[in-house]
C-alpha cells in the first residue's frame, strides 16, 4: 500500500519501501474514472445549459429582429402609400391646371381674329357690297393715297358704321360683307370710279 496520498483525489503514492499492490492501482483507476466521468457530466450539463441559453437568446433576437422588420415594413408601406397618394394628388392637380390652360388657350384661339388685307377698285355705283366670306369684326379702309379725309375711308365695326351722321354713312358692315358708297353731294366717296382702295379686316 502507498504511504502517501495525492492532495485532491487521494490517489496512492508510493515510496521506495512500499509494496506495489494491485488493489492500490485499481483503487486509483476507479477514482480517476469516477472523477473524469463526473467532470464529463458536469461539462456536458454546462454545455447543454449554454446551448439552451444560446438558443433562447437567438430565438429572442430573431423575434425582435422579425418584429423590427415587420414594423419597418409597415412604416415603409405607409410611407409609400402616403407618397403615392401625394404624387397622385399632385399629378391630378397638374393635369387639371394643364387642362385649364389648354381650355384658356383654345378659347383665346377661337376668339382670335385673323387679319386679312385686300383691295378693290371703285366702280362708281351709289352702293356696293364686298363679301369677305367670314364674319367681319372690324374693318379699316383707306384710299390708295392713304388719305381717308373727306369720307374716303375710316374704321368701322358691326353696329358701328363709319359715318358723319346717320344719314351720311360711308362704311357699313353687315355680317360677312361691308358696304361702300358714292354720294358726291354728301362728300361720301368710298366707291369712287377707278379709285383703288386698301382695307384691313379682322375676321
In this structure, the answer to whether residues 45 and 96 fall within a common structural domain is: yes
Q: Are residues 27 and 93 in the same domain?
A: yes
Q: What number of CA atoms fall less than 13 Å from residue 59's CA on the CB side?
A: 6
pLDDT 10s digits, 31-55:
888 888 898 898 888 888 888 998 9
Examine the domain organization and report whether 128 and 108 are in the same domain: no
Rounded to whole angstroms, how far apart are CA atoms 118 and 48?
A: 110
CB atoms under 10 Å from CB of 123, counted, come to 13
Distance separating alpha carbons of residues 150 and 192, to the nearest angstrom: 12
For the segment 6-19, the average pLDDT, to the nearest whole number, is: 83
Whether 88 and 121 share a structural domain: no
Tens of pLDDT, residue by residue over 113-170, are 789 999 999 999 999 999 999 999 999 999 998 877 767 889 999 999 999 888 889 9
Work out the pLDDT band at 101, boundaries 50, 70, 90: confident
Q: Are residues 85 and 6 in the same domain?
A: yes
Contact 177, 130 (CB under 8 A): yes
Dihedrals φ, ψ of 8, to 5°?
A: -95, -45
From start to end of the chain, where are the E strands?
A: 4-5, 12-13, 115-121, 127-131, 138-143, 154-156, 162-165, 168-174, 177-183, 188-189, 196-202
Q: Are residues 87 and 158 in the same domain?
A: no
Provide the number of structural domains found in the chain: 2
Residues 183 and 134 placed together within one structural domain of the fold: yes
Residues 100 and 148 in one domain: no
Record the pTM: 0.47
Scanning the structure block, which residue is given the C-alpha cell 467532470?
39
* Cβ count near 41 (within 10 Å): 10
Cα separation of 2 and 195, whole Å?
A: 159
Domain end: 78, 112, 146, which one?
Answer: 112
Domain limits at 128? 115-202
Cβ-contact 30, 10 below 8 angstroms: no
Phi, psi of 22 (to 5 degrees): -60, -35
Amino acid at each position: 500500500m502507498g504511504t502517501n496520498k495525492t492532495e485532491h483525489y487521494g490517489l496512492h503514492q508510493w515510496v521506495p519501501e512500499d509494496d506495489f499492490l494491485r488493489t492500490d492501482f485499481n483503487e486509483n483507476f476507479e477514482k480517476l474514472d469516477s472523477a473524469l466521468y463526473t467532470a464529463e457530466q458536469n461539462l456536458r450539463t454546462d454545455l447543454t445549459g449554454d446551448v439552451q441559453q444560446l438558443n433562447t437568446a437567438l430565438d429572442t433576437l430573431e423575434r425582435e429582429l422579425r418584429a423590427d422588420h415587420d414594423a419597418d415594413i409597415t412604416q415603409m408601406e405607409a410611407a409609400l402609400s402616403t407618397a403615392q397618394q401625394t404624387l397622385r394628388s399632385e399629378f391630378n392637380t397638374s393635369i387639371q391646371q394643364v387642362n385649364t390652360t389648354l381650355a384658356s388657350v383654345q378659347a383665346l384661339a377661337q376668339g382670335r381674329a385673323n387679319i386679312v388685307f385686300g383691295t378693290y377698285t371703285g366702280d362708281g355705283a351709289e352702293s356696293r357690297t364686298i363679301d369677305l366670306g367670314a364674319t367681319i369684326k372690324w374693318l379699316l379702309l383707306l384710299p390708295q393715297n392713304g388719305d381717308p379725309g373727306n369720307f374716303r375711308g375710316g374704321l368701322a365695326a358691326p353696329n358701328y358704321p363709319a359715318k358723319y351722321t346717320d344719314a351720311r354713312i360711308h362704311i357699313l358692315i353687315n355680317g360677312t360683307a361691308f358696304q361702300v358708297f358714292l354720294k358726291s353731294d354728301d362728300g361720301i366717296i368710298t366707291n369712287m370710279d377707278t379709285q383703288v382702295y386698301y382695307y384691313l379686316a379682322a375676321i
